Amino acid sequence: MQQPNAIRFSSNGASLPAHVSAWIEAQEASVVTISSADELMSIGLRARPRFVVFDARRNPESVLGALKRLKKDSYTAVVPSAVLCGKKNEDLAEAFDAGADEVIRDGMQTPEAVRRLTAMLIRSERDLVVHPSTRLAGTSAIEAEIGRRLALGDYFAVCYADLDHFKEFNDRYSYNEGDRVIRILAKLLHDVVKGTCGEDGFIGHIGGDDFIFIIPYNAIPSVCGEIVATFDLLAPYQYSEQDRRAGYFFGKDRRGHLDRVPLMTLSIGVVTNLRRTLTSARQASQLATEMKTYAKSLPGSVYTVDRRSDDRVTPQEPLPAIRDVRTIGENE
């Protein structure tokens, strides 16, 4: 049985205004009408719907109580929820206080109501592709941006940035301090990429301490060079004075062994379409991940650029020996 991906919640089964019903039908959603808050939560937790329309024109206390339950749970709270209410200002206030994302008052003109409902979905979709802690674009937006640049045919670079020794820092200083470091890195990446490339630069947050930024090919040295240099200036000041002066602290590595843990550094793996043909966002991501892994094997904060061509090295073959730690596939 197909799971509903939209819900109409009503306590008495009254008909919706014609323009609201038409808008729901235009979304081509599989809609179910329910009147039980328990059933609402069951459906919402099992298969998060695209939207819920709450009809609070009658028996608002019961309907808004169900809305409050939906918005209380972190998993279902992101579901776009519109409330149909009476004409009074108190009705509007109560609906928003209960957690409504949009409110359609009884008697509202059709064009305004439709625009408000559509804007609600647009806001929701936009917010879901943004990482909540840094407000940078998330994974789906990153893939879409790579695909967009591939379609344009311009030369560009996909850069995968990852912190070294971040887990050990997190374990020693707490996850709150770790989150603060991630926000510092996010701001550094944003300021350098946008400051250098303007609208030609893109920054995304995969999650944790993993970031992707996309820049024009010729901006690699200036952008990546400034990022690693600035991070090396900032990183020591995230530690206590004792750890900063020592340049390390004793902690457990990923295998649980007690050892000297160096201060955090930044590794950036870079892949471009200058010498090889990139055919998909997935391929670009895989190559950037490969380059990031190689960068992490080198000491200090570095960026490594894949300069291999289609006819020289395939992604599955071992990385060739190099002289310049910042490039792969050149000057072997």
Confidence of residue 311 (pLDDT cuts 50, 70, 90): low
With contact defined as beta carbons under 8 Å apart, do 138 and 210 qualify? no
The answer to whether residues 97 and 146 belong to one domain is: no
- 219 phi/psi in degrees, rounded to 5: -95, 0
Cα 285 to Cα 270: distance, rounded to the nearest angstrom: 10
**Contact (Cβ atoms closer than 8 angstroms) between residue 160 and residue 291:** yes
Structural domain contains residue 133: no
The two tokens of residue 257 are: 């062994």
Q: What is the CATH number of the domain that holds 189?
A: 3.30.70.270
My answer on whether 175 and 288 are in the same domain is yes
φ and ψ at residue 252, rounded to 5 degrees:
-90, 135
Beta pairing partners, 210: 162, 207
pLDDT at 315 > cutoff 60: no
Q: What is the domain-level CATH number for residue 75?
A: 3.40.50.2300
Residues 110 and 186 in one domain: no
**Residue among 44, 28, 31 at smallest CA distance from 4:** 31
List, in order, residues 6 or more apart from 316 with CB less than 8 Å away: none
User: Residue 242 phi/psi, 5° resolution?
Assistant: -65, -50
CA distance 147 to 281: 6
Residue 169 lies in a domain: yes
pLDDT in tens, 196-233: 999 999 999 999 999 999 999 999 999 999 999 999 99
Residues 173, 289, single domain; the answer is yes
Residues 21 and 65 in one domain: yes
Same structural domain for residues 302 and 153? yes
Q: Are 105 and 120 in contact (CB under 8 A)?
A: no
How far is residue 145 from each of residues 192, 219, 281, 282, 315, measured CA to CA in Å? 19, 17, 8, 12, 22
Q: Tell me, what amino acid is at 43?
A: I
Task: Point out the domain boundary residue: 108, 128, 148.
Answer: 128
Per the CB < 8 A criterion, the answer to whether 118 and 26 are in contact is: no
Closest C-alpha among 167, 147, 267, 275 to residue 214: 147
Query: Does residue 33 have a pLDDT over 70?
Result: yes
Mean pLDDT check: name the lowest of 7-16, 152-161, 271-280.
7-16
CA atoms within 13 A on the CB side of 73: 17
CB atoms within 10 A of CB 51: 22
Query: How does strand 156-164 pair with strand 248-252?
Result: unpaired
pTM (2 decimals)? 0.74
Ramachandran angles phi, psi of 248, nearest 5°: -170, 170
Strands 202-207 and 210-216: antiparallel
CA distance 310 to 278: 9
From 107, 128, 149, give the residue that closes a domain: 128
Could you tell me the two tokens for 59?
């028996």
- What is the per-residue pLDDT for 331? 43
Q: How many CA atoms lie within 13 A of 118 on its CB side?
A: 12
Clarify whether residues 166 and 63 are in a common domain: no
My answer on whether 109 and 145 are in the same domain is: no
Note the Cα 80 to chain centre separation in Å.
Answer: 18
Is residue 236 in a domain?
yes
Q: Which residue has the higher pLDDT, 48 or 142?
A: 142
Average pLDDT over residues 14-20: 90
Q: Is residue 201 part of a domain?
A: yes
Give the residue from 80, 95, 128 where a domain finishes: 128
Does residue 316 lie in a domain region?
A: yes
Confirm whether 109 is domain-assigned: yes
Q: For residue range 125-164, list pLDDT tens digits in order.
A: 877 777 777 888 888 889 999 999 999 999 999 999 999 9
Answer yes or no: do 301 and 197 share one domain: yes
Cα 129 off chain centre by: 5
Q: Do both 270 and 188 map to the same domain?
A: yes
Is 1 inside any structural domain? Answer: no
Whether 134 maps to a domain, the answer reads: no
Which stretches of 169-297 are assigned E, i.e. beta strand? 202-207, 210-216, 248-252, 258-262, 265-272
Report the number of distinct structural domains present in the chain.
Answer: 2
DSSP per-residue string spanning 3-72: PPSEEEEESS-PPPPHHHHHHHHHTT--EEEE--HHHHHHHHHHS--SEEEEE-SSSHHHHHHHHHHHHH
Q: What domain range includes position 21? A: 6-128
Whether residues 108 and 229 share a domain: the answer is: no
Q: What is the mean pLDDT of residues 40-53?
A: 89
Selection from 205, 178, 170, 166 nearest residue 189 by Cα: 205
Q: What is the mean pLDDT of residues 302-306?
A: 95
Q: Do 124 and 150 fall into the same domain?
A: no
